[in-house]
Chains A and B, each alone.
Chain A
Amino acid sequence: MSVKEWLKERFPIDYEKFVEINENIFIKEPIPLHMKKWLLAMGTTPFILLPMQIITGILLAFYFVPSPEMAYESVRYITEEVQLGFWIRGFHHWGANLMIISIFLHMMRVFFTHAYRKPREINWIVGFILLFLVLTISFTGYSLTYNQLSYWAATVGTNLVKETPLIGGFLVNMLRGGESVTANTLTRFYTLHVWLLPLLITLMIVIHIIVLRVHGISEPEGYDKGYYPFYPSHFNKIIIVTLFLISLISLLTVILPPGLGQPADPMNTPLHIKPEWYFFSVFLFLKLVPIKLGILLIGLIVLIMIFWPFIEPLTSKKEDRRAIINYVLGGTAILILIAFTILETISL
């Protein structure tokens, strides 16, 4: 009796049908011709990075101890004592950074090719939720290292939440589990970071892809019409990107390894505190305007961005005018973001 038959007896499903479904939704999935261009296929990158983050995250969790006494020491232990620990930690660190970069690039592509337009508005919003989840998971992850910079980033970051109108105080208390950043905060952040947020992210990605598949990949104008099957050409592309990412991240861990910093000291704020680079623009903006106003403005901007697919049609009736508004607004937003990030980087 062959293995196939043995399995078929135990799992009496229609094997032929299974193969057929697999062929239809996976192997023969029609990919538009424009996807041959690498820059137009950016969305896969965060999707490839996700399992890498999950694997390295599980490995780090083998050693990490989320308590104020042990958090820094266990990160030190992973980095200095565990075989290839510095690599796994660096991998997780750089994987997170690359994920944020690739999400930004993916969003840019979607925005400028108008892929968010009717009927794909929902997927733009799902994507935006994913962006926030990823930023939150990065923030909580960074805080777990419990060195001076990350401790004070956690303190300042959670204090910003306090400025949320009406429910600010309540939210901060919930996040910190107390008045200040303590052991409770650490275990909360840990719980968020290692299962709640990953679970939500995975769920949202599933929705993101289902919505994508039911509509089919949006096709920007000005490219040859036509399709090619997922396998082998696009499949190979994913393998190439995967191999490239692993190599790149591995080299980054050697060239720019994440440091240990000084152990967190709740009694002593270091002279120059800074969040991770992807929060630089927000950080600088909040330094420039009064905090309450700043939070409100950022909330407003974010709301406009989230609901842009519904707002855009209200701006003009003419298609080409809307295109111009799209380019100008998108371009300005990106320039401001980059300018703020650079300004904060060079300021002490």
Chain B
Amino acid sequence: MNNAKIQQWLIGIFSVLLIVSLMIVATVEIKKTREYKPEIDIDKITARCITCHEKENIAVKQIDAWEESEHAVMGIGCFECHEAKDGDFDAQRCPESDFLIARHPTPKDCAECHEQQVAEFANSKHAHQFWLFANADRAVYENPISTRHGCEQCHQVGNIWPDGSVGECDVCHAKHSFDLAVARQPETCGECHIGPDHPHIEIYNESKHGNIFITKGGEWDMGYHTADNEPIPIEAPVCVTCHMDGNEKQPMTHNVSARLAWESQSPWSYRTVWDEENLGSWEVKRERMESICKSCHAPNFIETYLVTADLVNLQYNEIRRMFVYWTKKLTNDSLIDRLKADGKFYSNPVLNGWDEVPELEMYHAWHHEGRRFRHGAEMMGADFTQWHGIWDLQEDMVELIAWAAEHGDKEAEEWVESNHPSKFAPYALYDIPGSAWGIPTKTNTTPFVYKDNKDYWDRIKANVETVYKKGLLAEDQWDLWMKRYENKDHYLGLKYSSDVDSTWNFYKERNALDTKAFKEQAVKLNLPGKSFWERKK
């Protein structure tokens, strides 16, 4: 081939290459680092409100918040929510204009656009003022002014308005930006779900879920819309991810009761019957929650985890049975008295009462430690099931029985005088062989109840079978339990206990060194200068 021909070929080849490269260029999509929000249009009425509010300097930051909201983009201005009719409970004539404005938009106003959300909320336990039915006498212990900014502030979430609507949307959806990221932030739930009675935010922060969120969540965009049946876009769940947001299988809901199978805040744990006609049985609700769990977890793990938590709930009832037994007995024996005025009782031996030790123990064992014990077990708050849970419960029980013994109850005296280790389990037990975390080889070789009772697992099985037959456990849960029961040597790790003796002995030797060290350094220490008190004597 001659030179000219080669050159022509080259021109041809490079022309094709150029076309190909330009085609590649055309397909490239550049990731945008900035998203501009649509410019907002302020309608005439809103503009009047803003001008005047700015002039008078009334709640001007709320205007900025509104301008950041999606409402502002959509032309939902002041009057769309704050319009009032004559005679409305919150109607007010704006002093600077002729507008009749609503001081307090209620869920009824929100429902104009967010009908489904308001309806779902109204069907949830958030909207249920249960404490007013059984517990109105609480006010004898705490005077009203103290509860205004106390319990009433949180329980505003279920307020019944003069217009008949229920709830307060901006408890979670901070006005006036109504920012989804704020509503989704765990601290929003933690405004109320905090403290000794239900430390849910603390439990969450203790859990692996909370830890991942605290570590990495700052970089996540929490302002997303969950559409129904869309994948969860964040790596670890926040509160609403499990209780409200949707995933591939579950729709988003404002009914926080839709995925809860227990009433574990109640004095007795029981399988929920809340709004069964719409939400279905507790088993349906449990499946909803499990379906969210399964976005991230293997089924076997969460089923084991949850059945264990269920047994903790049932165990709580058995512990509570002791408190009820003793307070009732002490009431009948007139060792403690109910509060009474004008023929009406103001305390209840099985619920609350504040002027006698057994009543206080009873109240705490339910309202504080009893809830921490159960909720910690449900949401991976180990410390809350352990030290703030069962430990405090046992202390309450010991103190209650000791009080009864001091006040002359024979049965209590007998209990106090007993030396047998089983005295701390004066109630029936539940158990499950092993945990969801793995196979422990030595842990289960120590518990006293295992050693002391050859028929331990048969008695436990009888208990679990009874609650299953009563419908408090689902069939697949019973199957799972039985599978573990039948292979309990495996799940309890007892089967492997002797296999790991060389490892065990290694640590045993180290432990001996530790014991020796503290004996030498501390126990055997004898100081020459005697105590000053001794010298005085």
Q: Does B associate with A?
A: yes
* Chain A residues engaging chain B, CB cutoff 8 angstroms: 76, 79-81, 84-87, 232-233, 236-237, 239-240, 243-244, 246-247, 250-251, 253-254, 260
Q: B8 and A243: CB pair below 8 A?
A: no
B15 interface residue (CB < 8 Å to A): yes
Chain B window 16-43, contacts with chain A (Cβ cutoff 8 Å), 1 for yes, 0 for no: 0110111011101011111000000000
For A244, list chain B residues within 8 Å (CB).
14, 17
Q: A80 and B3: CB pair below 8 A?
A: no
Listed by A's residue number, 20 A-B pairs whose Cβ atoms lie within 8 Å are A80-B30, A80-B31, A84-B26, A86-B30, A232-B4, A233-B3, A233-B4, A236-B4, A237-B7, A240-B11, A243-B11, A243-B17, A243-B18, A246-B21, A250-B18, A250-B22, A251-B21, A254-B21, A254-B25, A254-B28
For B26, list chain A residues within 8 Å (CB).
84
Q: B33 and A251: CB pair below 8 A?
A: no
B234 interface residue (CB < 8 Å to A): no
B10 interface residue (CB < 8 Å to A): yes
Q: A243-B11, A254-B24 are in contact. List 11 more A-B contacts (CB 8 A).
A: A80-B30, A84-B25, A85-B30, A87-B25, A236-B10, A240-B10, A243-B18, A246-B18, A247-B14, A250-B21, A251-B21
For A254, list chain B residues within 8 Å (CB).
21, 24-25, 28
Report the separation of the CA atoms of residues A246 and B17 in the bound assembly, to the nearest whole angstrom: 9
Q: A86 and B28: CB pair below 8 A?
A: yes
Q: A253 and B14: CB pair below 8 A?
A: no
For A79, list chain B residues within 8 Å (CB).
30
Report the separation of the CA atoms of residues A246 and B21 in the bound assembly, to the nearest whole angstrom: 9
Residue of B nearest to A86 (CB): B30
Q: A260 and B17: CB pair below 8 A?
A: no
- Please give the distance in Å from B24's CB to the nearest CB on chain A: 6
Q: A239 and B28: CB pair below 8 A?
A: no
Report the separation of the CA atoms of residues A87 and B21 in the bound assembly, to the nearest whole angstrom: 11
Chain B window 153-181, contacts with chain A (Cβ cutoff 8 Å), 1 for yes, 0 for no: 00000000000000000000000000000
- Given A232-B4, A250-B24 in contact, is the A80-B34 Cβ separation under 8 Å? yes
Report the separation of the CA atoms of residues A247 and B20 in the bound assembly, to the nearest whole angstrom: 8
For A87, list chain B residues within 8 Å (CB).
25, 28
Q: Is the interface of A mostly helix, strand, loop or mixed?
A: helix
- Given A79-B30, A250-B25, A254-B24 in contact, is the A236-B7 Cβ separation under 8 Å? yes
Contact of B21 among A84, A233, A247, A260 (CB under 8 A): A247
Residue of B nearest to A77 (CB): B34
- Please give the distance in Å from B34's CB to the nearest CB on chain A: 7
Report the separation of the CA atoms of residues A251 and B28 in the bound assembly, to the nearest whole angstrom: 11
Q: A243 and B25: CB pair below 8 A?
A: no
Chain B window 307-325, contacts with chain A (Cβ cutoff 8 Å), 1 for yes, 0 for no: 0000000000000000000
Q: B15 and A243: CB pair below 8 A?
A: yes
- Please give the distance in Å from A30's CB to the nearest CB on chain B: 17
Q: Is the interface of B mostly helix, strand, loop or mixed?
A: helix
- Please give the distance in Å from A91's CB to the nearest CB on chain B: 9
Report the separation of the CA atoms of residues A237 and B34 in the bound assembly, to the nearest whole angstrom: 44
Report the separation of the CA atoms of residues A80 and B29 in the bound assembly, to the nearest whole angstrom: 9
Chain B window 59-82, contacts with chain A (Cβ cutoff 8 Å), 1 for yes, 0 for no: 000000000000000000000000
Report the separation of the CA atoms of residues A251 and B18 in the bound assembly, to the nearest whole angstrom: 9
Report the separation of the CA atoms of residues A250 and B10 in the bound assembly, to the nearest whole angstrom: 18
Report the separation of the CA atoms of residues A253 and B26 in the bound assembly, to the nearest whole angstrom: 11
For A76, list chain B residues within 8 Å (CB).
33-34
Report the separation of the CA atoms of residues A239 and B8 in the bound assembly, to the nearest whole angstrom: 10
Report the separation of the CA atoms of residues A253 and B4 in the bound assembly, to the nearest whole angstrom: 32
Of residues 267 through 321 on chain B, the ones whose CB sits less than 8 Å from some CB of chain A are none
Report the separation of the CA atoms of residues A44 and B31 in the bound assembly, to the nearest whole angstrom: 37
Q: A247 and B18: CB pair below 8 A?
A: yes
Of residues 449 through 478 on chain B, the ones whose CB sits less than 8 Å from some CB of chain A are none
Chain B window 348-368, contacts with chain A (Cβ cutoff 8 Å), 1 for yes, 0 for no: 000000000000000000000
For B32, list chain A residues within 8 Å (CB).
80-81
For B3, list chain A residues within 8 Å (CB).
233
- Given A237-B7, A240-B7, A244-B14 in contact, is the A253-B34 Cβ separation under 8 Å? no
For B11, list chain A residues within 8 Å (CB).
236, 239-240, 243
For B15, list chain A residues within 8 Å (CB).
243
Contact of B25 among A80, A236, A237, A253 (CB under 8 A): A253
- Please give the distance in Å from A243's CB to the nearest CB on chain B: 4
Residue of B nearest to A239 (CB): B11
For A250, list chain B residues within 8 Å (CB).
18, 21-22, 24-25
Q: B33 and A80: CB pair below 8 A?
A: yes
Q: A260 and B25: CB pair below 8 A?
A: no
For A81, list chain B residues within 8 Å (CB).
32
Residue of B nearest to A87 (CB): B25
Q: A243 and B4: CB pair below 8 A?
A: no
Q: Which 8 pairs across A and B sit closest by C-beta, in order of nearness?
A: A243-B14, A250-B21, A236-B7, A247-B17, A247-B21, A247-B18, A240-B10, A80-B32
Q: A240 and B4: CB pair below 8 A?
A: no
Q: Which of A80, A85, A247, A260 has the most B CB atoms < 10 Å from its CB?
A: A247
Q: B14 and A240: CB pair below 8 A?
A: yes
For B14, list chain A residues within 8 Å (CB).
240, 243-244, 247
Report the separation of the CA atoms of residues A81 and B31 in the bound assembly, to the nearest whole angstrom: 10
For A253, list chain B residues within 8 Å (CB).
25
Report the separation of the CA atoms of residues A237 and B11 in the bound assembly, to the nearest whole angstrom: 9
- Please give the distance in Å from A297's CB to the nearest CB on chain B: 42
For B4, list chain A residues within 8 Å (CB).
232-233, 236
Residue of B nearest to A252 (CB): B21
Q: B33 and A260: CB pair below 8 A?
A: yes
Residue of A nearest to B23 (CB): A250
Report the separation of the CA atoms of residues A254 and B4 in the bound assembly, to the nearest whole angstrom: 33
Report the separation of the CA atoms of residues A40 and B21 in the bound assembly, to the nearest whole angstrom: 28
Q: A251 and B24: CB pair below 8 A?
A: yes
Report the separation of the CA atoms of residues A240 and B7 in the bound assembly, to the nearest whole angstrom: 8
Report the separation of the CA atoms of residues A85 and B32 in the bound assembly, to the nearest whole angstrom: 13
Report the separation of the CA atoms of residues A80 and B10 in the bound assembly, to the nearest whole angstrom: 35
Report the separation of the CA atoms of residues A233 and B41 in the bound assembly, to the nearest whole angstrom: 65
Report the separation of the CA atoms of residues A244 and B8 in the bound assembly, to the nearest whole angstrom: 14
- Please give the distance in Å from A44's CB to the nearest CB on chain B: 15
Report the separation of the CA atoms of residues A79 and B17 in the bound assembly, to the nearest whole angstrom: 24
- Please give the distance in Å from B39's CB to the nearest CB on chain A: 16
For B7, list chain A residues within 8 Å (CB).
232-233, 236-237, 240
- Please give the distance in Å from A14's CB to the nearest CB on chain B: 33
- Please give the distance in Å from B168's CB to the nearest CB on chain A: 41
- Please give the distance in Å from B362's CB to the nearest CB on chain A: 60
Report the separation of the CA atoms of residues A155 and B468 in the bound assembly, to the nearest whole angstrom: 76
Residue of B nearest to A236 (CB): B7
- Please give the distance in Å from B113's CB to the nearest CB on chain A: 33
Report the separation of the CA atoms of residues A79 and B15 in the bound assembly, to the nearest whole angstrom: 26
Report the separation of the CA atoms of residues A239 and B11 in the bound assembly, to the nearest whole angstrom: 7
- Please give the distance in Å from B343's CB to the nearest CB on chain A: 75
Report the separation of the CA atoms of residues A293 and B10 in the bound assembly, to the nearest whole angstrom: 51
- Please give the distance in Å from A203's CB to the nearest CB on chain B: 31
Report the separation of the CA atoms of residues A239 and B14 in the bound assembly, to the nearest whole angstrom: 9
Report the separation of the CA atoms of residues A253 and B28 in the bound assembly, to the nearest whole angstrom: 10
Report the separation of the CA atoms of residues A87 and B28 in the bound assembly, to the nearest whole angstrom: 9
Report the separation of the CA atoms of residues A243 and B13 in the bound assembly, to the nearest whole angstrom: 9
Report the separation of the CA atoms of residues A239 and B18 in the bound assembly, to the nearest whole angstrom: 12
- Please give the distance in Å from B411's CB to the nearest CB on chain A: 74
Residue of B nearest to A85 (CB): B30
Residue of B nearest to A83 (CB): B26
Residue of B nearest to A243 (CB): B14
Report the separation of the CA atoms of residues A79 and B14 in the bound assembly, to the nearest whole angstrom: 27
- Please give the distance in Å from A65's CB to the nearest CB on chain B: 16
- Please give the distance in Å from A115's CB to the nearest CB on chain B: 25
Residue of A nearest to B36 (CB): A81
For A236, list chain B residues within 8 Å (CB).
4, 7-8, 10-11
